[in-house]
Structure 1
Amino acid sequence: MSEPTGLPVAVIGAGPVGLAAAAHLTGRGITPLVLEAGPVAGAAVREWGHVRLFSTWGELVDPAAEKLLAPTGWTRPGPGGYPTGAEWAERYLQPLADALGDRVRYGARVTGVARAGRDRVVDSGRAEQPFTVHLATGERVTVRAVIDASGTWATPNPLGADGCPATGEAAAADRLAYRVPDLDDPAVRARYAGKRTAVVGAGASAFTALAALASLARDEPGTHAVWVLRRGIGEGTFGGGEADQLPARGALGLRAKAAVEAGHASSVSGFRTAAVERDGDRLVLVAEDGRRTEPVDQVIVLTGLRPDLSFLSEVRLGLDERLSAPVALAPLIDPNVHSCGTVYPHGVKELAHPEAGVFLAGMKSYGRAPTFLALTGYEQVRSIAAALDGDHEAAARVELTLPETGVCGGAGLFDETGAESAGGCCAPAPALVQLGTRPGPPDPDPAVR
C-alpha cells in the first residue's frame, strides 16, 4: 500500500464516483486530491436535486465510502428507498466529502492536464514525468495520476439532430431549457403552466418531463406537451415497464405512457430537428425533411449529454470515434448494439489510455453512451485504485454483479441523463403518430400529424 512517488492522485469532481475514487485510494494508503469546481460536494447532482433516481439506496453507497464513513457516526439510509438527487447529495455525498476533509478542495475548476514540461507531441522522458493539473486560479498542482470523474452534466447535447445546434437555437435560448423542470419552483411552474411545451428526447429525462407536465396539466388547464422523437413509436418506446430490472425506471416509462394516453401529451415521431423559428412569441420546430410542428411556447431539450474533453487536450487519450469513450470500453456500451443488451462490469483494463496514469471514470467514461449505473462507476474506481497501488490481481478481478439494464430505449442511472439511444432493436421505421385520446372535444391546436 505504499505511495511510490509521494505525490497525490488528482480526482476531478466531488460527485458520487469521484468521492468513491477518493475513498478507495484512501483505503489503500494513497493520498487523493479531489478538485471540485462547485462550492459543495455533489454540486452537479444538486442541480437535478428534484429528480428521483431509479437506483435504490442499497445501490448508491460505495463499500469503501461506507467504511470511511463508519467512524464518523454516519447512519446509512435504509437500502430500499429511492432518493432524490438532493437527498443523495445531503445524506451521502456531503458527509463523505466531510469525512475526506482537506483532501477535497472546492472552487477548484480544472482548466488543463498535462505531463510536466511535455506537451502532447513530446515523447522524450514523458513516462517519467508527473502530471500538472492547471486550475482556473492560475495554480498548478503536481500529481502522480489523474482520475477524471467530472461527469457530463455541464455539456448537454443541443437540439439539432445532427449533433450541432439547430439553426436559430441560440436566438431562441430564452424559450429553451436543457434540464427536467422543477415544477415545485413557482417561477419554473409559471413558465409551463397553461402552455404548450415541446419535449425533445426519448430517454428517462423525457419520461420524467412528460410525467411532470401531465401532473401540471391536471391542475392548470391548457398545459400540454408535444413529445418530439427522432425515432418511430414501438413496443419499447416507453421502456421495459414491469419487465424492467430497475422497477422505478419501468414505472417512470409507464407514467409517461399514461400521460400520453390521457391526452396530456401528443407525439411527433421520426422528427429530426434542423431549425427552430419564431412565430410571434412562440416557437416552431422544423425537421430536416421540412415538416413543422404547430407553435409551442417552450421547448425542453433532453437529447443526452456529452463529455467536455477540452482540458484534456495535452494528454494522450484513446477514444472511440463515435462515443468519445475509451476504445476498449466503447464496444461494451455502444447504444447501436446494446440498447437491448447488458453492459458488463469493467475496470482499469477497459479504461486505460495511451497516456498511462490518466483515467476517465463514471459518466465521463461513457462519453455519449446513455446507460450508466452508480455501481458501475464504483467498480471502475475500485479497479483503478487497485492498479495504482500495484495490486494488479485485484484490479483485474470483477467484484460486482449488475442487474440487467438493457431494456429497449436506453436509460441511465440519473434521470437527468436524458439520453436518446442512437439505435435500438425494437423500434420500427420512423412514422408520424398521434398517441392517446383527449377526453371531450378534440385538441384545437394539434401537433403535426
Structure 2
Amino acid sequence: MSEKLPSETIDLIERLLEGTLDNIGHERLMEMARQDAELRQRIAAHLEISTALDLLARDDAGFAERTAAHVMRIANEGEFAFADGVKRKIIRLRVVKALAAAAVVALAALPFLPKRAVEGERVALLLRMNKDNNVISSRPVHVGAVIDEPGGLYRLDFHNGAIVAIEGPSKVKVVSGMEIEMNAGRLNGWCPETAHGFRVKTAAAELTDLGTSFGVHTTADGKSEFMVLDGLVEVRKGDETLRLAQGDAIKSGVNQKMQAVDFDPSVFKNTWAFANGILSTRGAVTPVGPDVAEKMVHVESNEHVLVIPERRGVPFNREVRAEIIRPGSLPGSLNGDVKSIPPVAGKHLSTFLLRYNPVGVISEESFVRFEGEVTFDRKVLAIACKEEPLAHGDDVFATADWKSLYRGIELSQRFNPPDVVTLSEDRRTVKVVFYAGASTDDIRVILEDP
C-alpha cells in the first residue's frame, strides 16, 4: 500500500465517526473510494481500527501509543501520527464514546453501494448502555428509524427536549420528533414544555404527554400499561379518551377496553434512572426506586445513600447558594464557605438529593461508613452541603417537606472522620463518604440542563 491516508480523507472519516458528515461530504467520500480501490481498502481498515480502538481505549488515551506499533503494520501509517490521531478522536468522543458500526459496514461494502440512501430528518440522539450502566455508544436518529433490540437499555434524546429511556426486548419506530410507535418494551419518558404533546403509540392505545413523567410497558401480544409519575397524560383508544394524573395507571389490549389498575412503577427501575439523567452509580450510592416525587423523598434505607430526583427544568432566575461550585473535595481542596452563583436568564436547573435516611430510630452511638458515587449525564453547577444553603433551595427545588433535626453533612465529628464530598474534574461525578448515625446525611446536587 502507499502512504498514509490523505488529509481530506481523514477529515471526512472523522466527521463520519462523529455523526457530523453532511450529504455533500458523504458523497465526496464515496466518490474518492469508488475511484481508488486501494484507497477504499485503507478507508475500511482505518474505520475498523479506529472503531476498535475507541471501544477498547475508552477513558485511557495512552492506549493509542501502546497499540500503535501493531496498528502501524496493519494500516501502514506513521506510528505516532496514527496514535495521535486516535488519541484526538478518543478525547473528542470521551463523553459519548460513539461507535460508527453502521458507517464501517457501509463503507466496507462501497463497491456495492452506488449512492447514499435517503434519510429522514435528524430528530434525536440514541445513547446505548452496557450491563454495567455505562454509556458505550451514541448515534443520530432520523425520522423513520426502527430500533429493534433483543435486550439492553438505551435512551432517545430528542432535539425538542423530550427524553425517552427504553429497556428491551423492544421494537420502536421513530415516526417524527413528536411521536414514536412501540410494539414491545418498557419506556420512561420526560417532556419539558418544548415537547408537550409528545406521543407514544402502542397496539393497544396512544399516550399524549401534557407535561409529565410517564411510563409505558407494552408486550408483543398487544397488551400495554400506562402510568404517570408526575403531571398529566391523555390515553386514547378509538373514541375513548382518559386523562391520567400523578399516581394513576391503566391497562389495555388490542381487543380490551382501558381499565384502571394499581399504580406499581417498580418495573421501570432501570429506565426511570436513565431517563432522569443518572448514568451510573457505584458503591453504597444507588438510585431510589421509581415513584411519585412526594414518596421518594421519604424512602428509608439502612444500606444505601439514595439518589433522589427533585424538580427538573427549573428556571435559573434566583441565586444558587452552595459550598461546592468547582471540582475538588470538601473538606480538602475546598474551604467550605458558602458561595453565591447569580441567576442566568434562559438557563434551567435540575436537582438531586444524595441522602442517607435510616429506617426507624437508630442509637446515637451507632455509626456506619458509606462510600460511593453517582455520574450524571450533564454537568454539576453546584453542591449544597450544609443546612443554610439546603434550606435556601428548598422552596425552589424540593418536592416535599422534609423535617429532620439535622440537615446536611458533618465536616467535624468528635468520634469519626468528617463526611467528604468530591466533585470530579469533568463536573459529572459526585463521590461521597458519609459517617452516618442516628440522623440523616444529605446534600443537594444542582445540575445545568442542556
**TM (normalized to structure 1)?**
0.26
With a CA cutoff of 8 Å and minimum separation of 6, indicate the structure with the bigger relative contact order. 1
**TM (normalized to structure 2)?**
0.26
More helix by share: 1
More strand by share: 2
